[in-house]
Amino acid sequence: SLFDRNGYILQVMHNDRYGDLNRQYKWYPGVLWSEEYGGSNVVASVLKQKKPLQIIGPQHYLQWCHIVTASGAPIIDPEGALIGGIAIVTLLSGTHPHTLGMAISAAKAIENEMRVQNAYSLQKAIITSIPEALIAINVEGRVTTINKRAQKMFGLDDQDVTGQLLRDIYPDEENLSFLNMIDRQESLIDVEVRILSPKGTGDYTL
Tens digits of per-residue pLDDT, 2-48?
A: 999 999 999 999 888 888 888 888 999 999 999 998 999 999 999 99
- Say what percent of the chain tops pLDDT 70: 100
Question: Across the chain, what does the average pLDDT equal?
Answer: 87
Could you tell me which residues come within 8 angstroms of residue 110 by beta carbon, excluding any fewer than 6 positions away?
75, 86
Bridge partners, 8 (sequence order):
32
Query: What is the C-alpha to C-alpha distance for residues 173 and 196, in angstroms, rounded to an integer?
Result: 9
CB atoms within 10 A of CB 175: 20
CB atoms within 10 A of CB 3: 27
Residues in the chain: 206
**CA 73 to centroid of chain Cα atoms:** 17
The answer to whether the pTM exceeds 0.85 is: no
